[in-house]
Amino acid sequence: MDIALSLLVLTIVALLLGAFALSRRGGYRKQAVLMVVLAAVMAVNVAIWTLPTPGGETLASAAKEKAPE
């Protein structure tokens, strides 16, 4: 699970940098906006998996405990 979350965060950064580059290039505004929207959706997914519940447990740690080794 840690690798997946790390890849999601790296993808978010890459999407935001790509969207910035496309917006500076001109003519690709729609694609740049879609890249920012996708980065926002992915950021919400990372937040859901990493923010603790009222019990102090995260979804990532709960999945790690239940996964067979």
Confidence of residue 69 (pLDDT cuts 50, 70, 90): low
pLDDT at 16: 97
Residues 8-60: tens digit of each pLDDT: 999 999 999 999 999 998 888 999 999 999 999 999 999 998 888 888 787 77
pLDDT at 14: 97
- What secondary structure does DSSP assign to 42-65, as a single string? HHHHHHHHHSPPTTS--HHHHHHH
Query: What pTM does this model have?
Result: 0.80
